[in-house]
Homo-oligomer: A and B are copies of this chain.
Amino acid sequence: MIIQFNTRAPVYIQVVDYFKKKMALGELQAGEEMPSRRELATELKINPNTVQKAFKEMEEQQLITTERNRPSRVTTDEHVLKRIRTELVDEAVAVFVESIQELDVTMDELVDKIKRQYGEGNINDRSTGS
């Protein structure tokens, strides 16, 4: 379990996003048990209350369900699960475009820079035409 707590975004939001990613990638599947709050807090070295807030947020977003005094589980609503990845990507794109809007950046420049940045990780780069 690795989370990089980089940005200024609230930790509990970053925890939510982390689990969204795992669901989007199928690493966490429908109906699967979530780790316990305390366990996760210890592992991530954050406060149990922060984890609780993240889980509460995920419940409100219907990503997980919880029966009292039983470990939370990933939703079995495939409809919800299928949307996650799209939402993650779309929101990232929206934030990105918003931040560079009005800066007169060409798609060429953008693609180039993104590829470079991506390259430092690993990219699934087929095509882009050229």
Q: Which residues of A contact B (CB under 8 A)?
A: 6-10, 17, 21, 24-25, 85, 88-90, 92-111, 113-115, 117-118, 121, 123-130
Contacts and interface: CB of A to CB of B under 8 A. Distances in A.
Given A89-B109, A129-B130, A98 B6 contact: yes
Contacts of A98: 6-7
Nearest to A123: B107
Contacts of A103: 21, 24-25, 85, 88-89
A25 B107 contact: no
A110 B114 CA distance: 10
Contacts of A92: 96, 99-100
Contacts of A25: 102-104
Contacts of A118: 97, 107
A130 to B, nearest CB: 4
B111 A125 contact: no
Contacts of A121: 97, 101-102
A117 B94 contact: yes
Nearest to A22: B102
Contact of A108 (B106, B115, B126): B126
Given A110-B93, A111-B111, A104 B124 contact: yes
